[in-house]
């Protein structure tokens, strides 16, 4: 079962740590708790067009996003979210779509990721039972990113998150259809065997730029320096259920 962040004494007892060891665990968990509260307090509401198309839960149409960087583990990477409302001009015959810009700087010394995700991932997003894939529309740089799916509190230490890599031509608006069956579950970077992803259990969605790809191997497109991805759409892909 997941261990609550506040149960430092219980963790210390379970792992056999006492004295200095227990104090370090307590300090570590307190730092995570403080970072968690600060990160969630900075959540920003997404533009209307960035609702997850096809998700049936009411709150899935008014999601807010927040950042989690490797600073939570003592790293030095940093990132920000910018919500772009877009515009359309019938006079100029042009438009700019609404988007979520996730950008920042990776510092690999003592760290290894920057990420963002939706707030309120304790409640299901309402993905239909016949969901087979998620379509992501975005403009990327030259790096490889992961779409992340959560099935419970994203800060739990005992629940897996699910990841799928995607990468494309830099600077070009593209769409990727990511099959749910291809998402890989992991807990703290370690793959979980035998887990099955149920669409109805998905409670949160996010983006990650990480030292590792979805298989836990080195991400060759990762390294120090700036990054930017402009998310322009998320859509549920369904295949009609076949009658028996």
> Is the predicted pLDDT of residue 146 greater than 50, yes or no?
yes
> Is the predicted pLDDT of residue 4 greater than 50, yes or no?
no
In contact, 230 and 137? CB cutoff 8 Å: no
**pLDDT-above-90 percentage for the chain:** 64
The domains of the chain are located at 1-41, 43-238
The domain 43-238: what is its CATH number? 2.60.120.260
Give residue 66's pLDDT. Answer: 95
The pTM score is: 0.84
Over residues 75-101, mean pLDDT = 84
Average pLDDT, the chain: 86
Over residues 200-209, mean pLDDT = 96
> Is the predicted pLDDT of residue 138 greater than 70, yes or no?
yes
Please write the tens of the pLDDT for every residue from 160-195: 999 999 999 999 999 999 999 999 999 877 889 889
Structural Rg of the chain based on CA atoms? 19
Over residues 141-152, mean pLDDT = 96
Q: Which residues contact 1 (CB under 8 A, 6 or more apart)?
A: 158
Q: How far apart are the first and last CA of the chain?
A: 37
> Is the predicted pLDDT of residue 6 greater than 70, yes or no?
no
- Order the strands of the 190-191 sheet from edge to edge: 44-45, 64-69, 113-118, 204-210, 145-150, 161-166, 184-187, 190-191
């Amino acid at each position: 079962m997941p261990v609550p962040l506040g149960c430092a004494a219980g963790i210390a007892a379970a792992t056999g740590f006492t004295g200095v060891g227990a104090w370090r665990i307590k300090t570590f968990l307190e730092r995570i708790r403080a970072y968690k509260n600060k990160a969630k307090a900075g959540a920003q509401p997404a533009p209307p067009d960035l609702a997850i198309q096809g998700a049936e839960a009411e709150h899935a149409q008014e999601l807010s996003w927040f950042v989690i960087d490797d600073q939570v583990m003592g790293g030095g990477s940093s990132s920000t979210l910018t919500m772009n409302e877009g515009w359309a001009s019938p006079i100029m015959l042009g438009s700019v779509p609404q988007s979520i810009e996730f950008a920042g700087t990776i510092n690999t010394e003592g760290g290894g990721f920057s990420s963002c995700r939706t707030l309120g991932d304790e409640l299901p997003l309402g993905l239909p039972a016949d969901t087979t894939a998620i379509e992501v529309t975005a403009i990327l740089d030259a790096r490889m990113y992961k779409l992340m799916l959560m099935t419970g509190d994203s800060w739990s230490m005992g629940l897996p998150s699910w990841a799928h890599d995607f990468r494309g031509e830099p600077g070009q608006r593209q769409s990727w259809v990511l099959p749910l069956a291809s998402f890989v579950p992991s807990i703290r970077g370690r793959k979980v065997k035998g887990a099955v992803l149920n669409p109805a259990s998905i409670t949160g969605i996010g983006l990650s730029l990480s030292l590792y790809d979805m298989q836990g191997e080195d991400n060759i497109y990762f390294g120090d320096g700036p990054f930017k991805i402009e998310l322009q759409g998320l859509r549920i892909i369904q295949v009609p259920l076949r009658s028996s």
